[in-house]
Amino acid sequence: MTRAETYFYEPAKGHGLPHDPFKAIVAPRPIGWIGSRDAEGRGNLAPYSFFNAMCDTPPVVAFSSAGRKDSLRNIQATGEFVANFANQRLAAAMNASSAPFAHGEDELAITGLTPAPGRAVSVPHVAEAAAALECRLLQVLELKDLDGRSTDHFVVFGQVVGVHIDPAFLNDGLFDTGAAGPIMRAGYLSDYAAVGREQIVKLKRPKSAEEGRDFVRRESASD
């Protein structure tokens, strides 16, 4: 079968489509439901869809803020934050916490969620969350384009210094991602993807180049 020519565009010149497809292509993306406190101790809770783990030794997560929002300012002031696990059960509260509340209003309280005290940081986490990562700030990186101009986007890197896990989602000592049911950003304004146990696919990672070749041969033979 001959593949049709791809639709190609250069972002700097415009995509020519009804909506920018970039966020739909790089998807689904985990949601960093970021909890923070300002210098006066007032709480903030907001979801960020540009979020992920960067490495595991030490464990580091990062999220990107479009502009200097409350989360960024709070973290720069205190050096601490929490990344709460956003799942299907908490999707409505997560979405509500994205509203543009005034600085100093605590979205955790507004959404009716329960604050649980931090252990390694002073920032509380969402008690109802399946898991939460307590983090200390490593650095804030201002993103610039190819011409060296500021994009007004900032990446916040944090080292995980404490982990909370709801025991209900520990299965034989393993965190059961499918049972926890993460909800992730999947494209346009209201699109989300939900993951359950039925969506989890297990693939054994090849331990050698020969195992990798064997996998390719088996897949080719099954076509």
Would you say 200 and 178 are in contact if contact means Cβ atoms under 8 Å apart? Answer: yes
Would you say 64 and 50 are in contact if contact means Cβ atoms under 8 Å apart? Answer: yes
Q: Give pLDDT tens digits for 45-99.
A: 999 999 999 999 999 999 999 999 999 999 999 999 999 999 999 999 999 999 9
Residue 38 pairs in a beta bridge with none
CA atoms of 109 and 104, how far apart (whole Å): 11
The domains found in the chain, sorted by start residue, are: 11-198 (2.30.110.10)
Work out the number of other CB atoms within 10 angstroms of the CB of residue 85: 27
Q: Look at residues 119, 207, 127, 223 and name the one whose alpha carbon lies nearest to residue 166.
A: 127
Compare 204 and 163 and report the one with higher pLDDT. Answer: 163
The separation between CA 95 and the C-alpha centre of its own chain, rounded to angstroms, equals 14
Q: Give pLDDT tens digits for 87-138.
A: 999 999 999 999 999 999 999 999 999 999 999 999 999 999 999 999 999 9
In this prediction, residue 1 carries a pLDDT of 43
In this prediction, residue 223 carries a pLDDT of 63
Q: Which helix (H) or strand (E) holds 107?
A: helix 107-110
pLDDT for residue 2 is more than 60: no
Would you say 64 and 112 are in contact if contact means Cβ atoms under 8 Å apart? Answer: no
The CA–CA distances, whole Å, from 17 to 23, 185, 190, 192 equal 13, 20, 18, 21
> Does residue 28 have a cis bond before it (omega within 30 degrees)?
yes
Would you say 162 and 134 are in contact if contact means Cβ atoms under 8 Å apart? Answer: yes
CA atoms of 94 and 214, how far apart (whole Å): 44
Q: Going by DSSP bridges, is the β-strand pair 131-144/150-165 parallel, antiparallel, or unpaired?
A: antiparallel
- 221 pLDDT band, cuts 50/70/90, is confident
Would you say 141 and 39 are in contact if contact means Cβ atoms under 8 Å apart? Answer: no
Q: Which two tokens stand for residue 187?
A: 């494209």
CB burial readout 44-66, b (16+ within 10 A) else e: bbbbbbbbeeeeeeeeebbbbbe
